[in-house]
Copies of this chain bind each other. A is one copy, B any other.
Amino acid sequence: MKPTSPDAPTLPVAGLDGKDRPGDANVCSTRGELEKELLEFFVRAAQLAGQPKSLGEIYGLLYFSEDPLSMEEIVARLGISLGSASQGLRQLRAFKAVRAVAVPGQRKDYFVAEIKLRRVIAGFVQEEIKPHMESGLERLARLEELAGALDDVHLQQRVRRLARLHEISGQLLPLLMKLVRV
């Protein structure tokens, strides 16, 4: 499984005109169109998850690439900066959405996407959602204590009700994980 050679770009992502001449097969343009839309799909998904656009682009590109890609190639195909690529890849590795593979005669790192989307979702939940929730629940516990010291019954009730959120999220996360079958 050799890395894509630099002279054979298979995903001409940038520079599409979107036109589709009717009446002939025109596979190239259809393919380009498709690839553009696929990337856009991942960009939207990234943004729904509160992640930068570039992250979605990188993952999308790797998801559809037959071979591992170097950072250089990613930068070239997406037209993004080295900085974005480096940061995006780091984040994606944290989510276990991509991993680096070593290519024998090559000094560079090459990257491949985790194509099991369940795992990507699981990694994202683990790294992004869980910590937020946990710190939120800690904070809530402290607030409940604080409220206990006051003699405002109404406020106490509301804080207590709020603190019951941990019941929901205590169920939600395991359930999500189970659904996603880590």
Contacts and interface: CB of A to CB of B under 8 A. Distances in A.
Interface residues of A, number: 45
A182 interface: no
A171 interface: yes
Interface stretch (A73-81, A89-97, A156-164): A156-164
Interface string A128-159: 00001000100110010011011110110011
Given A48-B132, A175-B179, A118 B34 contact: no
Q: Is the interface of A mostly helix, strand, loop or mixed?
A: helix
A102 interface: no
A158 B41 contact: no
A116 to B, nearest CB: 8
B115 A34 contact: no
B143 A37 contact: yes
A43 B34 CA distance: 39
A168 to B, nearest CB: 7
A16 interface: no
Interface of A: 27, 30-31, 33-34, 37-38, 41, 44-45, 48, 50, 63-64, 66, 115, 117-118, 121, 132, 136, 139-140, 143, 146-147, 149-152, 154-155, 158-159, 161-162, 164-165, 168, 171-172, 175-176, 179-180
